Structure 1
């Protein structure tokens, strides 16, 4: 016979289990298609600039959605929003799978998937905070974090295997598994009291248009797109100073150290995301590896290493300080890029090894950026500030993927700059890695200059 206490514990555990299932299968959607980008490019006869929109489209609506769901949770309730996100994500999956022969439909499906999937990182943590007892929240957050990292880690291996032996379109169906959580979460989660409030729809529209046209500029390099992007972003900046409940709090723009922190973090995260999107093309062109090998032999060890480096990074921040850990992370990333650039074409195992250190360095950088950015915020700015950090981090990853796709397509860097490189098929990728190194090191120097003064 269950006591009220044991029933409560059972309910909390059940909620946590289904949140883990939801988090695991939803996060696979971010990584599984990356390894298949060359196959998609081949099937549609598209350049990387267009093909990379398969990931960019998802990250675009995903990044904006994470901020929107967070702001709506008090007004509409977690239960309704979580159900909405799951259903929309599944609808996007079905549209993408059934219409995968048509590239515009595929991009539309990824946009829809991003709208739905954005609910998960925003709301899952809120559910834990509201439903799990305070003494167990640390374990719950840690468990979900590990599940998410595991999903991101094995995503490339699953994606590469399915794409190689079946077809990449079946990867679009993976998020449908999250629908099994609906009846359980609807039963376990309570109906919540909601509060009335205004929502800055116009601000979201202005900002979204500006971001979309900037990404279109990086795809085609048409100056018209850049002009439209700048115009709408300026309108957005003017708009948020005039409304009572802006989508982005304008007062944060006056906090110079905070803005520099999210800028540098965005450059680092976007560069690594762009590199990850480039690796499948590189492994196909230079090493002639198939999709299954790229996913399981090259990318998988690196993504799984995050589990180890994330734990180590947290310990080092407390012992050595955040800036020392950031420096170590930047050394990992930049050294890996330089080694890969100078010895491109020797063996694919070199890329596998350096990939581990790129993700290790990224794990260190993410830990540090979160730490130093939060330290630059006043207590009353913490909520809005960290929300903006999450938004810009996701958005920068999508932007990095778009920019790298454009650079791979115009092939401006497809020239022999390094005398040590003799194979023409490696010129473009070697030079791209040197460019990545420059961006990473510049971001580190700016971060160190600003935060050493604090």
Structure 2
């Protein structure tokens, strides 16, 4: 096999493993809540500890890969991810589990953007639609099988084994990384000040959102977290404007297409994954399905991305990415809105299948085209930075979606009864659907990227080289 084929194989399996861990924990959350004696706040941090560090360090991982070699950093990220998975499996209380998930997110943050940029380095731009579609299919397959695998393992073994399964996969991939074609980019020096500012800022905001309902929105710690976090994020943007080697070159956002593509990525993750966090618990806590039964019954939703992503990649090459993204977000909004309207403690499963399919099909039509859009509005030497930025913003959307929709759920409902859970999940899912619909409207304003039409407007085609040095 050539290095190009090894690159396809290793990046595909790696992105599958990292994507699976985004949702593998969802059907184990009710069991973890009882086993470790935690509540909604602990469950939110079990998810957010992973997604927060994932979001923050995606940019750092991409920058390190550009400077020191993407293959080397991919191996390092896989090693950290594998070791942290073992630590999560050995957790005996919620604090240890959250700490392990934090480190696991760090490893995943290095792996995810490098799988995309390594793949892009072996695929000609004209053929990237299909390649990114296959990459999206592997990511979608991880999302699809995550709840099922997590549910089956939780039911027939224990929740700890949802993390143990990463260990043999990671150990298998590590020696194969040496067969991948290496590449570098133009990210320049590591922006330590920017990394510190954005990390602290995001932590403050998420801390305030997660703690708000439990401690009161006017309590000192909550207000301090939100205020300090907001100030630090403003400081981060100001620093990026003047830093000699910014982790997120602001010049990229001079492109209307790049900016809108990232706004859409944030809105999609906010609306979709914030809703997934709650509906996964609805299947078990209200409808009393076992973890495996809940995972299997969500397959019409979670399996559709794996089926639709390759088709989306092909259609992107033919009719344009922005149109496919708009259709995908519309389908997601329709599916989530439908579920919000019909949810009740006695809702028959048969009534959930069609909205599940709509939401899943919409997800499958989203991932490959949005990746094509993001990389299509920057020059080749900034693809690593653009990939890291896009993935970071989407993960930030996931963090904020879980925190905000979780806050709406807590304010309107709770875990005391099935009806109280529905009272909370219905308005939260409605907000998620509205956010997804807003994303569909924004998608209509995206111009065609340089890889779809030539020539394009100068402001959408290039970013000043000075932004990366």
Q: TM-score higher than 0.5 here?
A: yes
Find the aligned partners of 2:160 and 2:40 in 1 and give their Cα distance. 18
Deviation (angstroms), 1:44: 3.0
Structure 1 residue ranges without an equivalent (≥5): 1-8, 415-421
Counterpart of 1:50 in structure 2 is 42
1:124 to 112, 115, 119: 115
Deviation (angstroms), 1:175: 1.8
Find the aligned partners of 2:246 and 2:238 in 1 and give their Cα distance. 11
Aligned pairs (5 A) from 1:206-225: 206-221=197-212, 222-225=222-225
Counterpart of 2:280 in structure 1 is 280
Q: 1:176 to 1:133 in 2, by over 3 A?
A: farther
Task: Note if contact 1:49-1:405 (Cα within 8 Å) is conserved in structure 2.
Answer: no
Count, aligned residues: 435
Counterpart of 1:242 in structure 2 is 242
Find the aligned partners of 2:440 and 2:119 in 1 and give their Cα distance. 34
Structure 2 residue ranges without an equivalent (≥5): 213-221, 449-459, 461-469
Counterpart of 2:27 in structure 1 is 35
TM-score normalised according to structure 2 size: 0.81
Deviation (angstroms), 1:86: 1.9
1:228 matched to 2:219? The reply is no
What is the DSSP-based 3-state SS (H/G/I as helix, E as strand, rest coil) of the residue aligned with 1:168?
Answer: coil
Counterpart of 2:428 in structure 1 is 432
Report which of the two structures shows the higher radius of gyration computed on alpha carbons. 1
Counterpart of 1:419 in structure 2 is none
What is the DSSP-based 3-state SS (H/G/I as helix, E as strand, rest coil) of the residue aligned with 1:289?
Answer: coil
Find the aligned partners of 2:22 and 2:184 in 1 and give their Cα distance. 33
Find the aligned partners of 2:380 and 2:127 in 1 and give their Cα distance. 25
Find the aligned partners of 2:261 and 2:180 in 1 and give their Cα distance. 37
Counterpart of 1:357 in structure 2 is 358
Counterpart of 2:437 in structure 1 is 441
Deviation (angstroms), 1:203: 0.5
Task: Note if contact 1:36-1:280 (Cα within 8 Å) is conserved in structure 2.
Answer: no
Counterpart of 2:139 in structure 1 is 148
Task: Note if contact 1:36-1:159 (Cα within 8 Å) is conserved in structure 2.
Answer: yes
Find the aligned partners of 1:156 and 1:193 in 2 and give their Cα distance. 35
Aligned pairs (5 A) from 1:23-422: 23-98=15-90, 100-128=91-119, 144-177=135-168, 178-186=170-178, 188=179, 197-221=188-212, 222-256=222-256, 258-298=258-298, 300-317=299-316, 322=321, 324-345=323-344, 346-370=347-371, 384-408=385-409, 410-412=410-412
Q: 1:106 to 1:326 in 2, by over 3 A?
A: same
Deviations 1:84-127 (A, max 9, x none): 212211221222122x2211110110111111122322223444
Deviation (angstroms), 1:413: 5.8
Find the aligned partners of 2:326 and 2:130 in 1 and give their Cα distance. 29
Deviation (angstroms), 1:132: 8.2
Q: 1:353 to 1:234 in 2, by over 3 A?
A: same
Task: Note if contact 2:10-2:180 (Cα within 8 Å) is conserved in structure 1.
Answer: no
Find the aligned partners of 1:94 and 1:239 in 2 and give their Cα distance. 37
Counterpart of 1:3 in structure 2 is none
TM-score normalised according to structure 1 size: 0.83
Task: Note if contact 2:6-2:180 (Cα within 8 Å) is conserved in structure 1.
Answer: no
Q: 1:77 to 1:325 in 2, by over 3 A?
A: closer
Find the aligned partners of 1:321 and 1:134 in 2 and give their Cα distance. 14
Find the aligned partners of 2:396 and 2:404 in 1 and give their Cα distance. 12
Find the aligned partners of 1:196 and 1:331 in 2 and give their Cα distance. 35
User: Aligned-pair RMSD on alpha carbons?
Assistant: 3.5
What is the DSSP-based 3-state SS (H/G/I as helix, E as strand, rest coil) of the residue aligned with 1:56?
Answer: helix
Find the aligned partners of 1:207 and 1:371 in 2 and give their Cα distance. 26
Task: Note if contact 2:41-2:210 (Cα within 8 Å) is conserved in structure 1.
Answer: yes
